[in-house]
Amino acid sequence: MSVVGIDFGTLNTVIAVARNRGVDVIVNEVSNRATPSLVGFGPKSRYLGEAAKTQEISNLKNTVGSLKRLAGRSLNDPDIQIEQQYISAKLVDVNGQVGAEVSYLGEKRQFNATELVAMFLSKIKQITANEIKLPVSDVVMSVPAWFTDIQRRSLIDAAEIAGLKMLRLMNDTTAVALGWGITKLDLPSGDEKPRRVAFIDIGHSNYTCSIVEFKKGELAVRSTAFDRHLGGRNFDKALVDHLHKEFLGKYKIDIATNPKAMTRVLAAAEKLKKILSANQQGPLNIESLMNDIDVRAMITRQEFEAMVEPLLNRVHVPLEQALADAKLTKDDIDIIEVVGGGSRVPAVKERIQAFFGKPLSFTMNADEAVARGCAFSCAILSPVFKVRDFAVQDIISYPIEFCWEKDADIPDEDTSLIVFNKGNVLPSTKILTFYRKQPFDLEARYAKPEELPGKIPAFIGRFSVKGVKATGGPDDFMICKLKARVNIHGILNVESAYYVEDQEVEEEVKEDENGEKKDADVSIFMMSESTPSTAGLKKSYAVVDAEEGMDARQSKRRKTRAENAPDSLLGQTDVDLSDRELISESSKAMDTDAAKDGKPKTRKVKKQVRKGELPIVSATQSLDEKAKHAAAEKEAAMVMEDKLVADTEEKKNELETYIYDLRNKLDDQYADLASEEEKAKIRAKLDACEDWLYDEGDDATKAVYIAKMDEIKALAGPIVQRHFEKVEAERQAVQARIEA
C-alpha cells in the first residue's frame, strides 16, 4: 500500500511518496521531478503530462492546460474567459460544466473538466506506480484554499474516476505548514505562546497567504487570504504584451493573429523571466517566429519590473487580509516562509519583505513543499503507515448557510441561518434542530455569493429529510436533529438525521480513562443553550456547535471510539465523535448528585433521547454513483487504448531496430556463417520488410509487427544458431585452456 502526496499545480504537478525513511519526490518517465499539468489528444491516443508538452506546439488545438482551474466551473463564468487566454484548445459547455472540444481518434470530441482532470490524474497514478513499483490508491492532493464545494467535488470525482482514493483534499498552504511543522522538534508546548508562521505560496496562477499557529504535535490555521489571479503566468503575460507591441513596431508582425507564434513567445517570455530572476538583463531570440522573421529582444530587470508594477502593487493585499482575519499584527508573526515558483521573482520577494519589515525564510523547497506536505498528510491518515502524529486544523473559506421553507405551524420561524462562518475550523460538525410534523427540505448555500470565485453559484446542496410525522404527543412536533458536516476535504454534507424525545433520566456519572465524563447513552443529546421548550415553542431550531479540533488524531481516535461506543437505546452503533463531544460538553453544565459516601455518583437530567433515524435524500454537486462508474469505465478504456498504442509503437520500433541490426550483423559477425545465397535471401526479406514499414506497415497492429518479426527470425534462425554454437565452442575452448 502506498502513501502518496500530489501537488496538482496549474502548470506543474509534483508527486511525493512516503517511504521508510521519509518523504521523497519521485521522477516521471523522463526523470523530471515535476510533470506538466497538460492533457493532449491525438489521432491514435492521448498525450498526458510530458507527452502533451512535447506535442504542444504542433497540437495546440488539442492540448488543454490549467486543468484544475476548469474543474467545477461553467463556460459562461468570467473566470473561464480568463482561462481561455491561457488554454489553446477551445473551451465549450459540456452539460453545464466547462470542457474542451478536441480532435481525438480522428473525431471531434468533448470532455468536461472533471474528465480532463481524471485523465491527468490517471497519468499521475501510472507515473507513481511505475516508480514505486506498488499499486497506488490512497492519495492526498493539494487544492487552492479558495476552491468552493463544487470545485472540490469535481476534483474528488476526478480522482475516483482515475481509480484514486482521496484521503484528503488539502489546502496548498496548509500542506506546506504540515511539512514545516512535522519536522520541528522545538515547538512550544502547554501554555507557551504558539509559534506563528506566515506561509506564502505564489504559483503559476494564484497566490495565497496563511497564518498558522504551531504547538507541539499540532498546527491550527488562523487565517487564509488569497489573490486568485496573481501568479507567474501574469508576469509572463506582461512580458508577452510588451513583446507583442515591440514586434509590431520593429518587425511588423502581429503575434496575436498566430497562435503558434503566441505560444512560442509565451514560452520564451517565461524563460526570460527566469533569467531575469538571476540576472540584471536577459535576451530573447526566436528563429522564424512568423513570416520567416527571426525576432530578438533584450530586456533589463528594471524594464521588466516596470512592466509588472501593477502586479507588484497587489502583493501586499492578501498579506494584509490574512493578518486582519487572524487579528494579528506584523510583529506577531515569528517566521515568514515563502514557497511556489512565482516567488522567485526578486521584486515579489522584496514587496513581501517590505510589508513584514523582516527577512523572509526560504527553508523549504519552493517547488516541492506542497507535495511533501500532502505526502505527510497521507501518511498520517493512512492506516498502514506509522508517522509522528501531527494534528492539522484548517478553516473554512466562505460562510455557509442553510435555508428552508417556513413551516405553517411555526409562525415566527426564521428561514435561514448561517451555520458555518468563515474561519470556522475544518472539519466541523454541527447539529441543527428542527421541530416538524412532516418531511421537509433544506438547502445549503454560500451565504456571501459575492465572495465566491467568478460566477460560481451559491448553491451547495439540497437535503430532504424523510420519515418526519406528527407524534401525537403534547405538542405533536417531532424534534429532528440534522448533522451537518464540512468534512476533511472542505465539502459540506448533511450526513445523518435522527429524532429525539424529551425525557428525564437518572444516570450514573462515570469517568473514562481520559478523565472525560463518559455517557452511557451516547445517543442522548442535550443542547447547551437556547433549548426550545416544547411547551412555549419560540424558536424552531437551535444550532449547537460541535466543532472538531484536530482532525488527524481524531480521525484515528474516531474509528476506535465508534467501535467502542456503547449501543444506544435503539441499538445504533454509528455514533461519531461529534455527538460524544457534545454530550461531554453539555454534561458539564448539569447538576450531579455526587454522593460522598462511596456510592456511585448519579444525577437526574432532562435529556433528549434519540428515538430513531430519519432518512435523508441528498442532492449535491458530486457525480452520482452511476455517472461516476460510467466515467471510470470510459477512462479505463482510454487507458487500455493508450497502452495498446504505446505497446504497438514499441513493437514497431523493435522491428525497425531488429532489421537494422540484422543487416549489420550479416556483414559482420554472421558474414562467415552463412552462404551468399542464404544472406541474399535474408537481405531481400529485410528490404521488403523495411519498405513495408515505411508504407502500409507504418500503421499496423501490434500482432502484425510481432508476426513480421517472427518471419524474419525464422529465416535468420539457422545463422543465429550457428553463431551461438561458434561462440559456445570458443567459450569451451577458453575454459579448457584455463583448466589445463
Show the cell assigned to 336: 515568514
Show the cell assigned to 341: 515558483
Contacts of 644 (CB under 8 A, 6+ apart): 702
Positions 16 through 35 that interact with Mg ion (CB under 5 A): none
| DSSP string of 293-326, one letter each residue | EEEEEEEEHHHHHHHTHHHHTTTHHHHHHHHHHH
Does 340 bind ligand ATP (CB under 6 A)? Our answer is: yes
Does 206 bind ligand ATP (CB under 6 A)? Our answer is: yes
Partner interacting with residue 49 (select from Mg ion, K ion, ligand ATP, none; CB below 5-8 Å by kind): none
Instruction: Specify the stretch interacting with Mg ion by CB under 5 A; choose among 3-11, 120-128, 262-270, 377-385.
Output: 3-11
- How distant is the alpha carbon of residue 642 from its chain centre? 24
Does 9 bind Mg ion (CB under 5 A)? Our answer is: yes
Q: How far is the CB of 82 from Mg ion (least distance, A)?
A: 17
Query: Residue 309: is it exposed, middle or buried by C-beta count within 10 angstroms (0-12/13-18/19+)?
Result: exposed
Omega cis (within 30) before 310: no
Q: How far is the CB of 612 from ligand ATP (least distance, A)?
A: 47
Q: How far is the CB of 521 from K ion (least distance, A)?
A: 50
Partner interacting with residue 232 (select from K ion, Mg ion, ligand ATP, none; CB below 5-8 Å by kind): ligand ATP
How, if at all, do strands 335-339 and 195-202 pair?
A: parallel
Partner interacting with residue 179 (select from Mg ion, K ion, ligand ATP, none; CB below 5-8 Å by kind): none
Nearer to Mg ion, 9 or 490 (CB): 9
Instruction: Specify the stretch interacting with ligand ATP by CB under 6 A; choose among 229-237, 282-290, 477-485, 617-625.
Output: 229-237
Contacts of 56 (CB under 8 A, 6+ apart): 38, 40, 63, 88, 263
Residues across the chain = 740
CA distance 338 to 305: 20
Question: Which residue is nearest to K ion, using beta carbons?
Answer: 9
Query: Which residues of this protein are in contact with K ion, per CB under 5 A?
Result: 7, 9, 12
| Among the listed residues 596, 731, 642, 723, the one whose alpha carbon sits nearest the alpha carbon of residue 49 | 642
Does 231 bind ligand ATP (CB under 6 A)? Our answer is: yes
| Backbone φ, ψ for residue 359 (5° rounding) | -65, 150
Show the cell assigned to 95: 452539460
Q: Quick check: 487 and 152 in contact, CB under 8 A?
A: no
Q: How far is the CB of 50 from Mg ion (least distance, A)?
A: 18
Q: Residues binding ligand ATP: what is the number (CB under 6 A)?
A: 21
Q: What is the rounded end-to-end Cα distance, in angstroms, of the chain?
A: 55
Partner interacting with residue 173 (select from ligand ATP, Mg ion, K ion, none; CB below 5-8 Å by kind): none
Residue with cell 496575436: 256
Nearer to Mg ion, 9 or 373 (CB): 9
The Cα-based distances of 365 to 188, 203, 343 in angstroms read 24, 13, 12
Binder among 5, 40, 194, 203 for Mg ion (CB under 5 A): 203
* Beta-sheet strands, E only, within 49-205: 63-64, 90-94, 97-104, 107-112, 138-143, 165-171, 195-202
Does 179 bind Mg ion (CB under 5 A)? Our answer is: no
Nearer to ligand ATP, 229 or 260 (CB): 229
Binder among 222, 273, 518, 611 for ligand ATP (CB under 6 A): 273
Q: What is the number of alpha carbons within 13 Å of residue 710 lying toward its C-beta?
A: 6
The Cα-based distances of 480 to 432, 498, 525, 533 in angstroms read 8, 6, 12, 14
Nearer to Mg ion, 203 or 373 (CB): 203
Residue with cell 502583493: 315
Instruction: Specify the stretch interacting with Mg ion by CB under 5 A; choose among 29-37, 200-208, 482-490, 622-630.
Output: 200-208
Does 42 bind Mg ion (CB under 5 A)? Our answer is: no
AA identity, residue 716: A
Instruction: Specify the stretch interacting with Mg ion by CB under 5 A; choose among 5-13, 264-272, 311-319, 345-353.
Output: 5-13
SS3 assignment, position 431: strand
Positions 433 through 472 that interact with Mg ion (CB under 5 A): none
CA distance 8 to 161: 16
Nearer to K ion, 341 or 490 (CB): 341
Does 36 bind Mg ion (CB under 5 A)? Our answer is: no
Does 270 bind ligand ATP (CB under 6 A)? Our answer is: yes
Nearer to K ion, 7 or 160 (CB): 7
Nearer to K ion, 7 or 218 (CB): 7
Instruction: Specify the stretch interacting with ligand ATP by CB under 6 A; choose among 341-349, 403-411, 562-570, 655-663.
Output: 341-349
Residues that bind ligand ATP (CB under 6 A): 9-12, 203-206, 231-233, 270, 273-274, 277, 340-342, 344-345, 367
Residues that bind Mg ion (CB under 5 A): 9, 203
